[in-house]
Amino acid sequence: MAGESLRGKVFEKLRNDILRGRYKKGDELVECTIGKEMGVSRTPVREAIRQLELEGLVQLIPNKGAFVSGISSKDVMDMYLIRAKLEGLCAAMAAEHVTEVQLGKMEEAIILSDYHAEKGNFEQVCQQDGEFHKLLYEASKSKILAHTLLDFHQYLQRVRMASVRQRKRTQPSTQEHRKILEAIRKQDAEAADKAAYQHIINTIENLKSFDLDEVLKEEMK
């Protein structure tokens, strides 16, 4: 169990570093170097790298080593298209299962997002955006759906940050969150589905103005 826990910690650290841009596409992941940095042996590092290969984030080349594949602009758009469908389903399920406490917390996330947008605190806006969606996923009462969507959120964190930094998108996004919340509050599963689906489609349209390849080269602080 301890070995599995250690491997899990190394995996999460490496995955987060790749997704945040600390490791760039083509960078080699050297087991002994990573082991020294994290204070662990090469075994959990090797196991974590194999797990990253299964996720498509790393390529293992025989007799050469492990190299970062990362995610491409096509991967980003694919994830958003898949997410649009799943997010709609999630909102519909949330309309049937949400609690008053969750509704209150979702409202709070929207209010805080508005507040930080006015102040230009875009890192906090991104955080509150993530909090709203996390609460939405939890409200669906589907562990599998929530886990899948949270994974997408982690994969897309650099792109999400770039998107919320655009003032022209921040306010419409918050209004779309309100529309989702109101449909869920009214227990209107069909309206919640449509609102959440359209929210992601609108995000996709906004991303078309970005050079995603450049965004994916940047490291998040």
- In the block, which residue shows the tokens 């955006």? 129
Q: Residues with Cβ < 8 Å from 111, sequence gap 6 or more? A: none
* 53 phi/psi in degrees, rounded to 5: -65, -40
Instruction: Note down pLDDT in tens along the chain; length 221 residues.
Output: 355 688 889 999 999 999 988 999 999 999 999 999 999 999 999 999 999 999 999 999 998 999 999 889 999 999 999 999 999 999 999 999 999 999 999 999 999 999 998 888 888 998 999 999 999 999 999 999 999 999 998 899 889 888 877 767 888 999 999 999 999 999 999 999 999 999 999 999 988 888 888 888 887 76
- In the block, which residue shows the tokens 């022209």? 168
The answer to whether residues 152 and 101 belong to one domain is: yes
How far, CA to CA in Å, does 62 sit from each of 11, 65, 115, 116, 153? 21, 7, 52, 49, 32
CATH number at residue 51: 1.10.10.10
Alpha-carbon distance 69 to 215, whole Å?
16
Alpha-carbon distance 9 to 22, whole Å?
17
Alpha-carbon distance 218 to 144, whole Å?
31
pLDDT in the model for residue 221: 61
In a domain, 221, yes or no: no
The answer to whether residues 172 and 137 belong to one domain is: yes
Domain count, the chain: 2
pLDDT in the model for residue 205: 92
The answer to whether residues 94 and 168 belong to one domain is: yes
In a domain, 220, yes or no: no
Domain boundary among 46, 68, 90: 68
* 134: containing domain: 73-215
**Nearest Cα to Cα of residue 160 among 124, 195, 129:** 129
The answer to whether residues 120 and 155 belong to one domain is: yes
CATH number at residue 143: 1.20.120.530
pLDDT in the model for residue 49: 95
Domain boundary among 68, 85, 104: 68
The answer to whether residues 40 and 122 belong to one domain is: no
Q: Residues with Cβ < 8 Å from 143, sequence gap 6 or more? A: none
The answer to whether residues 201 and 134 belong to one domain is: yes
Domain boundary among 12, 47, 68: 68
